[in-house]
Structure 1
């Protein structure tokens, strides 16, 4: 009997690890890459990776993906008998909770993105049947909301906030940025025009609104500023996940991709059709080039935004022009 597709994928990657083709710490093909190379569904690819993880051969690393586990970890898991067969699965079912499902799903999304998330993949990661997860969560859409609320719940604010509206807004924005850094998929939950009624997201908004409440501005202006600060963070954070998707799709890092584009940009700059662009390119080249770092751009934009608010306070007539 021909083994199911996911087991054939497992055997292939297991063989590559055993022969040293994939060494400890090496990145394992992503869910999307496996689906493309093997012509299988994302759920099948996710199940293959989950099986390898259960065997202790690979582990998820946030913002990197799945990597080959240290050899001693795999050896310990193998000596312990792997997942324990049907008895192990039954035990896992008994130990199942909504929190474990949510945390497993967050681990998948952190490593592979929301596109790789499925109820079947979460079940495989936990070593339980897919139907078991539905006893605790209605489906993927409900699961994503639970994941988001849990992730936003990681935000911690001091009992004694710093003095001054600006310091408090800076803390709120940086706290949110750190969450998106940890969980890039959060930035792709939906547009700012369709806010989600999540308790822990509202808790963040409440803290920011309280900081802006120190300003002598009408309530509509304060809420607009709240939305602008939030949008600044989310707008840049969306690129974190896009960056990872692009690398997974092309196999190129940002630096490698830019190296391949250099000739095309140079040709455009030399064409004479874009004088301002050409001038900037030449000046940047003369001063060592330009590296687009999202962390630095976030901080730069945050300070300019807060500078603008400060100017508006100095001249209240500019607040809503």
Structure 2
């Protein structure tokens, strides 16, 4: 085995033993700086966000991040135990880029609309983050939890509690993440869209509704998101009256 890899694996094991049973970075105390000062958790997170923005999730490895920071991989492992930790920290940093409103609107729906649209813009600036629903790691960073508190308190003010509150939260979460993931990844050329629509037209007897409603060619993401959000919020308001 490569000696450096063996050392790194040893670091992973020792970190795992030190924090046995604690699998989330937000539930462990950060370690102090080791050796040469300039490497800090904040600097690691900034570099990770930049790497992810430029190269995507598939290119994020601890070794590649260490190279970007111009440190050894073992030094990086002193500050963050796993790649998953790096991703959790990077995602929370995204939610820290924009401050939440200082005051609440009189109508809680207005607060929810502002939050959800701001959330969407954050994901579009960092499209790799929209892949997170597929990961088995809950978002528990302080910035994300502040956003979630703002959202759920707005839903409570709107009259939701219990199961309906959590269901509405997840519906809005999935609307943001699903819409931004699709917008970021589905990039049809004009020719692909034209040929797709021709294909549907040639099978209009099988798919009459799909062919008639511009399924392939509609790339007005802003309108689709806004209208979809309105439908969700109308449904939520109807639930509060039932």
TM-score using structure 2 length? 0.75
2:233 maps to 306
1:26 maps to none
Find out whether 1:185 has 2:118 as its counterpart. Answer: no
1:277 maps to 210
Kept in 1, the 8 Å contact 2:179–2:225? The answer is yes
Kept in 1, the 8 Å contact 2:66–2:73? The answer is yes
Kept in 2, the 8 Å contact 1:184–1:241? The answer is yes
Q: Give unpaired runs (5+ residues) of structure 1.
A: 1-92, 244-253, 317-321
Runs of 4+ in 1 over 6 A off after TM superposition: none
String of CA shifts for 1:5-56, please: whole Å, max 9, x gaps. xxxxxxxxxxxxxxxxxxxxxxxxxxxxxxxxxxxxxxxxxxxxxxxxxxxx
1:293 maps to 220
- Larger gyration radius, structure 1 or structure 2: 1
Match for residue 86 of structure 2 among 102, 126, 143: 143
Distance 1:236 1:308 in 2: 18
TM-score using structure 1 length? 0.58
Q: Give unpaired runs (5+ residues) of structure 2.
A: 1-35
Match for residue 160 of structure 1 among 103, 109, 112: 103
Q: Call closer, same or farther: CA 1:147–1:192 in 2, change over 3 Å.
A: closer
Find out whether 1:104 has 2:47 as its counterpart. Answer: yes
Distance 1:196 1:127 in 2: 29
Q: Call closer, same or farther: CA 1:227–1:193 in 2, change over 3 Å.
A: farther
Kept in 1, the 8 Å contact 2:130–2:180? The answer is yes
1:95 maps to 38
By relative contact order (CA 8 Å, sep 6+), the higher-ranking structure is 2
Q: Call closer, same or farther: CA 1:306–1:193 in 2, change over 3 Å.
A: farther
Alignment: residue pair count: 206
Distance 2:172 2:50 in 1: 28
Kept in 1, the 8 Å contact 2:197–2:217? The answer is no
* Deviation at residue 203 of structure 1 after TM alignment: 1.4
